Amino acid sequence: MLKANRPDRATLEHLVKILEDPPEDLVRKDSKFKKLGLKPDDYVGNPKAVVDVLEKHGELLQRPVIVRGSKAIIGRPRDRVPTFLD
């Protein structure tokens, strides 16, 4: 992900507030996450830690994030999206 395309801190904080999923689900727990020595439990119930790690490592942002009005979801699996948009 290009650094210019990364959401800024204010955007991340807003997403965490309106997300209908647990905030920690915004963080991809892939090989990059493991390579950085990060631990999934550090983000459970800790929205500030989620924002901190995503601000520093934007490539860990789970995508797509679908925003509609004052609510947002992670668009995975894809079959969640049509229901959310209805």
* Residues 47-57: tens digit of each pLDDT: 999 999 999 99
Burial class, 4, CB count within 10 angstroms (exposed 0-12 / middle 13-18 / buried 19+): exposed
Among 73, 12, 55, 76, smallest CA distance to 84 is for 73
pLDDT at 1 over 90: no
SS3 72: strand
What are the tokens at 3? 């650094």
SS3 3: helix
What pTM, to 2 d.p., does this model score? 0.89
Q: Tell me the domain boundaries of the chain.
A: 3-85
CATH: 3.40.50.200, 3.30.565.10, 3.40.30.10, 3.40.50.1000. Which one for 3-85?
A: 3.40.30.10
